[in-house]
Amino acid sequence: MSTRTTTAVSHYFVQKSRRKKFVEEWRANWRTVVRVEDAPLVETARGSRVGVYVGADGDRQTRTMDALVHEIDPGVTTTVHRHSWDAMVLVVGGAGWFEIDGEHIAVAPGDSVHLPCWAWHRTGVESGATAPLRYLTFSSEPMLETMGMSVIEDAGHAAFETLAPRPPVSEGPAGDDPYARRLRRIARQQNERRTGRLHTDYESLELLNSPRGTRTTFLLDKAIGYQASGITMAMFEIGPGRRQSMHRHPGEAWLYVLEGSGHSYLGTEPEGGENHPWKKGDLIVVDHFLWHQHFNDDPDNTAKVVRIHMFDSLLETMRVLCDPLVLFEEPPDHIRDAQAGDITTIDWPAVERPTWP
């Protein structure tokens, strides 16, 4: 006996309505600058306070990354948990530590930490500390949730030695059949990912001048030994009263203002767009393929901005979808250089750890 399943309307109308609703919700919740005041901290069962800059657990949706802010008080240790996505940490205030699969890492403002997928981790602050530990996380959870692969496990305050290890990986047999090749390929990838770098100390950073009018450095990227899911973090510093040259690219770029104040130009064309003011603690969200340019409005002090995007996964996948569009576009060199100005005339300050507030 056969069973027939049908809907009241054709798939055309079902999909059209579903896609229209998604776009309407996306536009209704879109923010170009998320103020630090827009992410109030709320007590959680982990022992920390958490606020949502961008993510489904707040009122600003995303399909690629999320951005959360966390605070942990002196003398507190969070529960230990793990998840199927990885997360990038940017410490912005206080001091404390992360423990990742039993490895203890002390952190201070400006430090970056990678929390690999399926790695047990918890965070704590010594009882003698004078301020809470404050940090941001940027994770790939929304992308995994879209694919039905978002999983989280909390183990309370269990000791690391009692917890199950990361899921095992089969090395694969010798042979040239498709299954053997797949086993070996995935094993190689996982072995690389599970041996990547976990921590960048802010005091080890060296900022270098760039043609775009800033000095810049990687915080978390495969170029400096990390094996993440594609999220990369870099910091750039804009001279007093100066600006970064204009550019655009497909995919979102998020920029957290670590120090300073200014504004950003965003538009579908190099002229005629809008200016959006920002200050320390705000998150700037640059939408897909908009021309954008960032300005430091302080005539006396530099501005430090941390840029986050998912180039090595989402945008690499988009390379063939966007072709012949490029993944990074600037104006001609003479216009770029005029916008950037003579960077050699900037008196850069010593690199010092940021403070909060």
Question: What CATH code is carried by the domain that includes residue 65?
Answer: 2.60.120.10
One domain for residues 152 and 86: yes
β-bridge mates for residue 200, sequence order: 112
Provide the pLDDT confidence category of residue 2 given band limits of 50, 70 and 90: low
Cβ-proximal residues to 117 (8 Å cutoff; 6+ apart), any chain: 83, 84, 85, 86, 193, 229
Report phi then psi at 189, rounded to 5. Answer: -60, -45
Dihedral over Cα of 224, 209, 350, 257: its sign: negative
Tell me what pLDDT residue 61 has: 67
How far apart (Å, rounded) are the C-alpha atoms in residues 7 and 19? 17
One domain for residues 321 and 226: yes
One domain for residues 323 and 213: yes
Q: Which helix (H) or strand (E) holds 12?
A: helix 11-28
Asked if residue 326 has pLDDT above 80, the reply is no
Mean pLDDT, the chain, whole residue set = 90
How far apart (Å, rounded) are the C-alpha atoms in residues 250 and 290? 8
Tokens of 117: 């997928």
Mean pLDDT over 159-163 rounds to 95
Measure Cα distances from 84 to 81, 127, 158 in Å: 11, 31, 19
One domain for residues 113 and 208: no
Amino acid at 231: I
**How many domains, in total, are found in the chain?**
2
Tell me what pLDDT residue 262 has: 98
- The percent of residues above 90 in pLDDT, for the chain, comes to 69
Greater model confidence, 65 or 304: 304
Residue 220 near residue 137 (C-beta atoms within 8 A): no
Domain holding 75, by residue range, is 30-164
One domain for residues 219 and 313: yes
Would 350 be classed as within a structural domain? no
Provide the pLDDT confidence category of residue 7 given band limits of 50, 70 and 90: low
How far apart (Å, rounded) are the C-alpha atoms in residues 53 and 354? 20
Residue 63 near residue 22 (C-beta atoms within 8 A): no
Q: Which residue has the tokens 């990885």?
A: 86
| Model confidence pLDDT, tens digit, residues 90-149 | 999 999 999 999 999 999 999 999 999 999 999 999 999 999 999 999 999 988 898 899
One domain for residues 132 and 205: no
Tell me what pLDDT residue 319 has: 66
| pTM (2 d.p.) | 0.91
Asked if residue 1 has pLDDT above 70, the reply is no
Residue 126 near residue 75 (C-beta atoms within 8 A): yes
One domain for residues 128 and 210: no
One domain for residues 60 and 155: yes
Would 131 be classed as within a structural domain? yes
How far apart (Å, rounded) are the C-alpha atoms in residues 71 and 208? 31
| Model confidence pLDDT, tens digit, residues 193-239 | 999 999 999 999 999 999 888 999 999 999 999 998 888 999 999 99
One domain for residues 232 and 159: no
3-state secondary structure labels for all residues of 41-75: CEECCCCCEEEEEEECCCCECCCCCEEEEEEECCC
